[in-house]
């Protein structure tokens, strides 16, 4: 039980760290940086996405693990703490978009993950992450840039991050065989 809680707290800290990292990456890391400052990374052949997508994709999975290890209340606390971090640590040009998109995406992730987690952890994480990342992407791009030009790249980039984090989900399942 203590090991499960430790993993939960480590994932909570990593989750919160992903948020300012994603917001910083958007304007500072990329293979292409546009004149307005947005930096892009390739996520598939011919497909670019704002560079924060990788960190956001990991955040979706980490929040699920926090809930698995620490319980539903901790999962909701993570959503609201993450929303505050998303709007506080973002570049002023995208702070509102980051906060709003994060809140909507994470609440959708929470709503899907919570009932599915007992039927299969990996399935619950994948389903909830896909819904959360699509909503987060649409809201962020529209509110921040009034454009969905990079929507496909956002979705693909975040999904890659979700897939890469599946071994962490398997570890969480071993440490916390049943939801807290």
**What is the number of structural domains in the chain?**
1
Tell me whether residue 67 is in a domain.
yes
| Per-residue tokens: 153 | 């790249």
* Alpha carbons 162 and 5: distance in angstroms, whole number: 22
* Alpha carbons 161 and 115: distance in angstroms, whole number: 23
CA distances from residue 68 to 40, 89, 146 in whole angstroms, order as listed:
33, 26, 36
| Per-residue tokens: 59 | 């955040």
Who contacts 45 (Cβ-Cβ below 8 Å, separation ≥6)? none
Tell me whether residue 170 is in a domain.
yes
- Position 31 scores a pLDDT of 95
**8 Å CB contact between 23 and 94:** yes
pLDDT tens sequence for the chain (180 residues): 788 899 999 999 999 999 999 989 999 999 999 987 889 999 999 999 999 998 998 999 999 999 999 999 999 999 999 999 998 888 887 889 999 999 999 999 999 999 999 899 999 999 999 999 999 999 999 998 899 999 999 999 999 999 999 998 988 888 888 787
| Per-residue tokens: 115 | 């009932």
Nearest to residue 137, comparing CAs of 90, 172, 177, 104? 104
- Position 22 scores a pLDDT of 92
Tell me whether residue 180 is in a domain.
no
- Beta-bridge mates of residue 39: 33
User: Given the DSSP bridges, would you call strands 39-44 and 47-50 parallel, antiparallel or unpaired?
Assistant: antiparallel
- Position 13 scores a pLDDT of 97
Question: pTM for the complete prediction?
Answer: 0.91
* Alpha carbons 17 and 10: distance in angstroms, whole number: 11
What single-letter DSSP state applies at residue 50? E
Tell me whether residue 91 is in a domain.
yes
Tell me whether residue 29 is in a domain.
yes
For residue 35, the domain's CATH number is 1.10.1760
Give the domain extent around 143. Answer: 2-175
């Amino acid at each position: 039980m203590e090991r499960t809680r430790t993993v939960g707290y480590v994932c909570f800290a990593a989750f919160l760290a992903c948020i300012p990292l994603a917001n910083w990456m958007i304007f500072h890391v990329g293979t292409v940086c546009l004149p307005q400052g947005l930096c892009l990374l390739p996520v598939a052949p011919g497909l670019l996405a704002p560079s924060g997508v990788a960190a956001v994709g990991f955040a979706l999975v980490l929040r699920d693990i926090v809930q698995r290890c620490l319980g539903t209340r901790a999962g909701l606390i993570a959503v609201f703490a993450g929303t505050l971090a998303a709007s506080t640590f973002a570049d002023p040009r995208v702070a509102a978009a980051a906060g709003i998109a994060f809140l909507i995406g994470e609440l959708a992730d929470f709503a899907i993950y919570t009932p599915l987690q007992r039927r299969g952890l990996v399935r619950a994480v994948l389903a909830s992450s896909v819904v959360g990342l699509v909503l987060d992407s649409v809201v962020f791009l529209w509110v921040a840039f009034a454009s969905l030009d990079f929507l496909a790249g956002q979705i693909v980039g975040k999904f890659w991050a979700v897939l890469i984090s599946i071994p962490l989900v398997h570890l969480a399942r071993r440490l916390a065989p049943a939801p807290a």
